[in-house]
Amino acid sequence: MGVLCACAAPAPTARTRAPASLQALHDSVAHVPMLADVALTVPTAGVADVTEAKPPPPPRSPFAFSNIDPADDYVVGPPDDRPTCEDDLNAAKIKHDPATLPVHTPKKSVIVCGAPQVVMYRGGPEKIAYSPAVMITCTMALALARFEILVQEEAVKSFGKRVVKMHHLGTYNCREMAAYPGWVSQHSYANAIDIADFVLADGKTISVEKFFAPKLAVAKTVEGGFLRTLARRAYVEEVFSSVLTPFFDAHHYNHFHLDLARFLSDGTEYSP
What pTM did the predictor assign? 0.80
The structural domains of the chain, ordered by start, are 23-52 (no CATH), 70-267 (3.30.1380)
The whole-angstrom distance between residue 61's C-alpha and the CA centroid of its chain comes to 13
What is the spatial distance between Cα 122 and Cα 129, in angstroms, rounded to a whole number?
8
Confidence at residue 31, expressed as pLDDT on a 0 to 100 scale: 35
Q: What is the pLDDT along the chain (272 residues), one digit of tens a residue?
A: 443 444 444 444 444 322 233 233 233 323 333 333 334 344 555 555 555 778 887 889 999 999 999 999 999 999 999 999 999 999 999 999 999 999 999 887 788 999 999 999 999 999 999 988 899 999 999 999 999 999 999 999 999 999 999 999 999 999 877 667 677 899 999 999 999 999 999 999 999 999 999 999 999 999 999 999 999 999 999 999 999 999 999 999 999 999 999 999 999 999 99
CA distances from 199 to 11, 75, 115, 123, 238 (A): 32, 37, 30, 15, 24
What is the spatial distance between Cα 122 and Cα 201, in angstroms, rounded to a whole number?
19
